[in-house]
Chains A and B, each alone.
Chain A
Amino acid sequence: MSHSPQTIIIAGGGIAGMTLAVLLKQALASGVQVVVCDPAAAEAAQKAPEDNPLRVSALAADGRRLLQGLGVWDAVSARAQAIASMEITDSALADPVRAKLLSLSGDVGAGEPFAHMLANDDVLHALAKAAVEAGVELCDARVERWLWNGAAAGSSGMARLSDGSRRQASLLVAADGARSNLRALAGIGWHGWGYGQTAIVATLAHERPHGGRAIQHFLPSGPFAILPLTGNRSSIVWTERAADVPALLAMDAEDMLTEIRRRFGLERGSLRLETWPVGAFPLALGVARRFYADGLALVGDAAHQVHPIAGQGLNLGLRDVMTLGDALVEAIRIGLPAGEMNLLRAYDRNRRADVIAMATVTDGLNRLFSSDFTPLRLIRGLGARLAGRSSVVKQMLIREAAGVGASTRD
């Protein structure tokens, strides 16, 4: 007299989806069956990540602790660059010296930096290996449809996959990105807007060391972020008005480097592009109107897309994973179905306020700084200088950036 464990299907093998898979399977072992449906996820376990990746992320301290708890951090720490300090400057492009508005530095705990920079592919590779080790099933088909049978009919649903097969599950987690098809099929609205801005992304090698400093130059067309990678390398996230981007992307490598140098500054000596061509991503902000539907939970970018200005996209996704993951582990341990409506509602309540707050802050920052209007520049200069003088405010900003502030889980 035995029964099979509950199945949770995770649609999408990005960092949020894979982290949730590893968390659930490590905590519940044979008490749950976890399937990640994504053709790319199975691949990530096999192939070694490239040395000069295009997509990099800031990982805040709370997300790092989560990955450490799952045994994933040790596999990526050698390739992660600690951010020792953040600097914000506000300047027009032609200004020869970028006035330093605000400088933040500090650790959240003894020897624990508030954030690290690392390559998305490095994290995905380590997560895929941990997933296979824990017994997560990596399925190389996509989830196309989700039909919920209802709580009155066994609290389960049926997923139809792109290879034509069907799988029954107690819960489907949509981790299929900002343009989530499963979110749309579930009829969940998306409240969002474009910025009319595009982010150009590249990895640079520079002559002189960066000292772990992350720099945001707030230029009138949008923020230009310089994020430290291991060695004498940095990743840039260069935000431009979308209309100006095609002309930039049409340039050859040498002209592109010249344009980058104008924004990057000269303090780190000569520059070299480590990635070519550069990447370009249109920026948008959006928040799902609900983070759940019948037997369905949204995590990561499927639930929210924020401006990369504060480097919080990945961290918000990992906070979704912590909240949903902990709730699912406890529910399954006390024998409740994973897709239980009250559980999903509690997840929605816990996460959506935090996400909307972050989306509003990053949106506001971008609007405030992406302007050449003099009164605005004066106001933002004054605000940042005041913040910079107060060690209490600085410490608060650091802890918020690290995700270990009072309002988030420790």
Chain B
Amino acid sequence: MSNDSSAPFPPRADPAEVAHFDALARRWWDPDGPMKPLHRLNPVRLAFIRDVVCEHFGRDARETAPFAGLTALDVGCGAGMLCEPLRRMGAAVTGLDPAPENIAVARAHAEAGGLEIAYRGELVEDVAAAGERFDIVTAMEVIEHVPDPAGFVAACCAAVKPDGVLLMATLNRTRKAWALAIVGAEYVLRWVPRGTHDWNRFVTPEELAAFIAGGGMTVQRTEGVVYEPWRDVWRRSRDTDVNYMLSARRLGGQGVF
């Protein structure tokens, strides 16, 4: 999801840069482009976030802007596929991504849609260390791409306010996940480029729960996400063998730091 570009995106003057930028924006936002699986998955994970957050903060999911008054941090935000819906649900949203190009694409897209979102090219570790805290912290389909998952989860936990909620989603390290997410998605269906995922970096729900416990929080709800090829849709399920999502809160609702 992150890429290797190191320089911040330059002002929109150079036509070659503009063309490159447009191509990148389309790459992210084209529903049939390389991010197709994330576009398909998005309604399912958004419904999960909506349900968890509304339950956690006692909001009515049918109200307009049920997240109004809440702050949200999306870690590994890419071009803002999660940030924009969170904003439309009423949250004050901050999106983090280490890739400056992603941040530039995300900013331009939010502006085109009239959405106010704070995008920052920072790491969650730095944000947490600076003492910033949020009501909602999301890290969806990110942990399988980071080198130090335990440290990453600890930083995500630290960025959650004492009464806040953490939401994470990733891929389970099972034979089935290897068959479907690696062989199926990368080789057979070619949904995502080969090498997108490294099975060895997948995290089991038990391991993730242990990382979260290390961050002083406890898992509340775990749900699987399954793909139905005959209908070409994703849906929520109890089957956590491949994709799964979970929510966590602080023990006793109090901070440990």
* A and B from one complex: yes
The docked-state distance in angstroms from the alpha carbon of A335 to that of B49 is: 11
Which residue of A5, A27, A335, A341 is within 8 Å of B46 (Cβ)? A335
Cβ of B211 to closest chain A Cβ, rounded Å:
27
Which residue of A29, A153, A156, A333 is within 8 Å of B50 (Cβ)? A333
Category for how many chain A residues contact B = 20 to 34
- A3 sits at the interface (CB 8 A): yes
Q: Chain B's interface: helix, strand, loop or mixed, by majority?
A: helix
- B86 sits at the interface (CB 8 A): yes
- What are the residues of chain A within 8 A of B50 when measuring CB–CB? 333-335
- What are the residues of chain B within 8 A of A333 when measuring CB–CB? 50, 61-62, 66, 89
Cβ of A352 to closest chain B Cβ, rounded Å:
14
Q: Contact: A1 with B116, CB < 8 Å?
A: yes
For A151, A153, A335, which residue has the most chain B Cβ atoms within 10 angstroms? A335
In the complex, residue of chain B having the shortest beta-carbon distance to the beta carbon of A6: B88
- A30 sits at the interface (CB 8 A): yes
- A99 sits at the interface (CB 8 A): no
Cβ of A169 to closest chain B Cβ, rounded Å:
12
Count A/B pairs, Cβ under 8 Å: 79
- What are the residues of chain B within 8 A of A152 when measuring CB–CB? 22, 25-26, 28-30, 109
- B114 sits at the interface (CB 8 A): yes
In the complex, residue of chain A having the shortest beta-carbon distance to the beta carbon of B39: A342
Cβ of B26 to closest chain A Cβ, rounded Å:
5
When each residue 87-109 of chain B gets 1 if its CB lies under 8 Å from chain A and 0 otherwise, what string results?
A: 11100100000000000000001
The docked-state distance in angstroms from the alpha carbon of A341 to that of B43 is: 12
Q: Contact: B109 with A29, CB < 8 Å?
A: no
- B185 sits at the interface (CB 8 A): no
In the complex, residue of chain A having the shortest beta-carbon distance to the beta carbon of B32: A341
- A96 sits at the interface (CB 8 A): no
- B16 sits at the interface (CB 8 A): no
Cβ of A157 to closest chain B Cβ, rounded Å:
12
User: What is the total number of residues of chain B having a CB less than 8 Å from a CB of chain A?
Assistant: 35
- What are the residues of chain A within 8 A of B87 when measuring CB–CB? 3, 335
In the complex, residue of chain A having the shortest beta-carbon distance to the beta carbon of B84: A335
Cβ of B212 to closest chain A Cβ, rounded Å:
24
- What are the residues of chain A within 8 A of B193 when measuring CB–CB? none
For A5, A29, A153, which residue has the most chain B Cβ atoms within 10 angstroms? A153
Known: A151-B31, A335-B46, A342-B31. A3 touches B88 (CB 8 A): yes
Within 8 A of A (CB), among B1-45: 22, 25-26, 28-32, 39-40, 42-43
- B200 sits at the interface (CB 8 A): no
Q: Contact: B29 with A31, CB < 8 Å?
A: no
- A340 sits at the interface (CB 8 A): yes
- A375 sits at the interface (CB 8 A): no
In the complex, residue of chain A having the shortest beta-carbon distance to the beta carbon of B61: A333
Q: Contact: B31 with A31, CB < 8 Å?
A: no
Which residue of B42, B64, B114 is within 8 Å of A28 (Cβ)? B64
Q: Contact: B92 with A341, CB < 8 Å?
A: no
- A390 sits at the interface (CB 8 A): no
- A251 sits at the interface (CB 8 A): no
- What are the residues of chain A within 8 A of B113 when measuring CB–CB? 154-156, 337
When each residue 59-84 of chain B gets 1 if its CB lies under 8 Å from chain A and 0 otherwise, what string results?
A: 00110111000000000000000001
- What are the residues of chain B within 8 A of A396 when measuring CB–CB? none
- A46 sits at the interface (CB 8 A): no
Q: Contact: A4 with B64, CB < 8 Å?
A: no
Q: Contact: B40 with A342, CB < 8 Å?
A: yes
Cβ of A68 to closest chain B Cβ, rounded Å:
20
Cβ of B49 to closest chain A Cβ, rounded Å:
8
In the complex, residue of chain A having the shortest beta-carbon distance to the beta carbon of B111: A154
Within 8 A of B (CB), among A1-44: 1, 3-6, 27-31
The docked-state distance in angstroms from the alpha carbon of A406 to that of B109 is: 43
- B146 sits at the interface (CB 8 A): no
- B115 sits at the interface (CB 8 A): yes
When each residue 307-345 of chain A gets 1 if its CB lies under 8 Å from chain B and 0 otherwise, what string results?
A: 000000000000000000000001111111100111100
Q: Contact: A30 with B64, CB < 8 Å?
A: yes
For A3, A30, A155, which residue has the most chain B Cβ atoms within 10 angstroms? A3
- What are the residues of chain B within 8 A of A150 when measuring CB–CB? 26, 29
The docked-state distance in angstroms from the alpha carbon of A152 to that of B47 is: 23
Q: Contact: B114 with A346, CB < 8 Å?
A: no
In the complex, residue of chain B having the shortest beta-carbon distance to the beta carbon of A1: B116
The docked-state distance in angstroms from the alpha carbon of A153 to that of B62 is: 28
In the complex, residue of chain A having the shortest beta-carbon distance to the beta carbon of B24: A152
Q: Contact: A331 with B92, CB < 8 Å?
A: no
Q: Contact: A334 with B43, CB < 8 Å?
A: yes
The docked-state distance in angstroms from the alpha carbon of A214 to that of B109 is: 56
The docked-state distance in angstroms from the alpha carbon of A336 to that of B109 is: 14
Q: Which 6 A-B pairs have the closest CB atoms?
A: A335-B85, A154-B112, A335-B88, A31-B64, A154-B113, A334-B46
Binding site for A on B (CB under 8 A): 22, 25-26, 28-32, 39-40, 42-43, 46-47, 49-50, 61-62, 64-66, 84-89, 92, 109, 112-116, 233
- Contacts A29-B64, A151-B30, A334-B85 supplied; 13 other A-B pairs, CB < 8 Å: A4-B114, A31-B64, A151-B31, A155-B113, A330-B43, A333-B61, A333-B89, A334-B47, A335-B84, A335-B87, A336-B46, A336-B85, A336-B88
* 14 cross-chain CB contacts under 8 A: A28-B64, A29-B64, A152-B25, A152-B29, A154-B114, A333-B50, A333-B61, A334-B43, A335-B46, A335-B50, A335-B84, A336-B46, A340-B31, A342-B39
Binding site for B on A (CB under 8 A): 1, 3-6, 27-31, 149-156, 330-337, 340-343, 346
